[in-house]
Chains A and B, each alone.
Chain A
């Protein structure tokens, strides 16, 4: 039996960070607000596929490459990467721009996907619609070649390449690159986590919980529940869009099969439910547990082939299916059940107590 090396753990950290962005934003929509969102993969795809479509074309334009982009994509992206290798500023600029645009693309998709709510449909209908839209979205990307060449996919320019170029001689370029992805993902995750924790402790977080628990009471108090749903979906999808961009940049290649509904919608749902709905700590634990489990299963796939009575290919589906059902039956509130969020820190509350 082989043991995983350092690269395995670096990649594991990247996966955990990217999926934490998704699960924290999903928790905002489902855990706090109660929107049954089955289209999360679409939001990640909006960022990821945008990453396959835009940065390459933009850089080709800036570098004065006027060839047919999709026809010569491998050569063109190679030229772009050579240019980016010695240009950290442009690389960082490209990365930041794509992250912003990925968030915008995800947000627009979230806004469009939640528009049916304005027709007064039940949340269950929204779940059905989102699942259908997500399947259709993935199929369009897979078949429509002008976007990212469908099933063949496209390489993505590498904004972390300069790290390999300016590295200390004793460190491998791949290590530098993975470290770059980790740092970037960490910064994005920190922003997303700060936002989600702030929301959960603010009056807005309490409003979202009120909408989830009893939307009629909230309406009776004069709040437009539909607008709240749409805003939450837009913001939540925008955050997930950034995760899609990070994943595409990490992979350096995007194909039409990426961002499928099982890996990018159903697994995050299981992570959030296992951790605990409307509890960010639980979401973090659920994500770390699931991603680590998944990565180890993938790593030991060939070893598992001799132990399991069936192909390890189907192990993921069996595990995910059983876990979702068992958690919902026996532990619906997750490992860390929802607790009332303190709007202020304990010390500040104590100070206020003393003052009064």
Chain B
């Protein structure tokens, strides 16, 4: 039997997977290495162009190319750590300086990607801007391959990260480094190695997300400008704290944006699509004003206790102040 998945379901979920890869990356970079990475969305664009190169020039399929996205993106992350983050860290740069440095990195990477797109167009006579890779996708029982692949790969990686951070020595050491690097070093933890691993993940995860992007949406070197607001909004909603909150934030923001705008476009017309970024912006502003520490900072225990007391009919006196 063939199931047909409506675009209203598949597009938001694929987009949520892509954005969540990026929110995890930004949260990891901030919590484990204390670097606010403003170039996170451009790491996704690097993934787009690795995938594009693999398919169009090397003749590799869409999904096998994701391995190269992961490795290539990770390699870029490590190089950036060695050339930019490590020297800045060594001289004791402030968080604001790190922010500006990653902004500079973002501008530099976008210019490089543009040069690379020019190079592809000139030397290989292929359209390296405003392209989609939809034709390379497959269908399984009426469901788009990208929906199945992005969701399964996303959850596979998410579960792997959960296991790494909660069950392995490396994950626990990374937590320790994130909280107090000096103390972690005193305990004999090789912080340098952990920073490299973190930056590998910070580069690899958005690059995988980027690999899925051109299947549904038109891609070009400056596409990061259009998704960065959604990524930041997801991170702020999550609270820039743990990967779980980052995923939840990414999913909530993206689903709200895509579903709400899709619904509104039926209601008021297609012009509303140009303003779709206002949804994540609004979520970001509401989050900052109502619960500035995001989902992570919510008093979950007290909320659960209150719900329990309401369900059981007992009087609750714990208060519920955020």
Contacts and interface: CB of A to CB of B under 8 A. Distances in A.
Interface in B231-252: 232-233, 235-236
Nearest to A115: B289
Contacts of B91: 329, 332
A322 B284 CA distance: 31
Given A132-B228, A318-B111, A320-B107, 20 more contacts: A116-B288, A124-B95, A128-B36, A128-B232, A128-B235, A129-B284, A132-B232, A143-B275, A266-B104, A269-B100, A269-B103, A310-B115, A317-B108, A321-B106, A321-B108, A324-B103, A324-B107, A325-B105, A328-B104, A332-B91
B140 interface: no
B110 A328 contact: no
A340 interface: no
11 contacts: A38-B99, A119-B288, A124-B99, A125-B292, A127-B99, A132-B229, A132-B233, A262-B107, A266-B103, A320-B107, A324-B100
Interface stretch (A13-21, A60-68, A134-142, A232-240): A134-142
Contacts of A146: none
Contacts of B172: none
Interface string B91-135: 101011101110111111111101100110000000000000000
Given A116-B285, A329-B91, A321 B111 contact: yes
B157 interface: no
A108 interface: no
Interface of B: 36, 38, 84, 87-88, 91, 93, 95-97, 99-101, 103-112, 114-115, 118-119, 225, 228-229, 232-233, 235-236, 271, 274-275, 277-278, 280-281, 284-285, 288-289, 292
Nearest to B290: A119
A318 B112 contact: yes
A297 interface: no
Given A121-B288, A124-B95, A317-B111, A136 B229 contact: yes
B107 A266 contact: yes
B288 A143 contact: no
Contacts of B288: 116, 119, 121, 125, 129
B235 to A, nearest CB: 8
A321 B84 contact: no
A131 interface: yes
B292 A119 contact: yes
A51 B84 CA distance: 41
Given A139-B277, A143-B274, A332-B91, A317 B107 contact: yes
A70 interface: no
Given A119-B292, A317-B110, A329 B36 contact: no
A273 B100 contact: yes
B108 A36 contact: no
A131 B225 CA distance: 11
A141 to B, nearest CB: 12
A232 to B, nearest CB: 15
Nearest to A315: B111
A224 B198 CA distance: 38
A193 interface: no
Size bin of chain A's contact surface: 35 or more
A120 B232 contact: no
A266 B105 CA distance: 11
A245 B225 CA distance: 26
Contacts of A320: 104, 107-108
A321 B99 contact: no
A127 B84 contact: no
A318 B118 contact: no
Interface string A256-293: 00000010001001100100000000000000000000
Given A127-B96, A310-B115, A121 B107 contact: no
A269 B99 CA distance: 12
A192 B6 CA distance: 57
Contact of B111 (A30, A135, A270, A314): A314
Nearest to A265: B103
A34 interface: yes
A270 B104 CA distance: 9
B204 to A, nearest CB: 22
Contacts of B281: 132-133, 136
B238 to A, nearest CB: 12
A324 B104 contact: yes
Nearest to B273: A143
A135 B228 contact: yes
A322 B108 contact: yes
Contacts of B111: 314-318, 321
A311 B116 CA distance: 11
Complex A-B, nearest 7 residue pairs according to Cβ-Cβ distance, in ascending order: A321-B108, A324-B104, A317-B111, A143-B274, A321-B107, A314-B111, A310-B115
A325 B84 contact: yes
A31 to B, nearest CB: 11
A100 interface: no
Given A131-B232, A317-B114, A320-B107, A119 B289 contact: yes
In this complex, which of A116, A125, A269, A273 has the most chain B Cβ atoms within 10 angstroms of its Cβ? A125
In this complex, which of A269, A316, A324 has the most chain B Cβ atoms within 10 angstroms of its Cβ? A324
Contacts of A11: none
B104 A321 contact: yes
Contacts of A321: 104-109, 111
Interface string A326-342: 00110010000000000
A323 interface: yes
B96 A34 contact: yes
A310 B118 contact: yes
In this complex, which of B106, B118, B229 has the most chain A Cβ atoms within 10 angstroms of its Cβ? B229
Interface string A128-161: 1101110110011001000000000000000000
A323 B104 contact: yes
Nearest to B235: A128
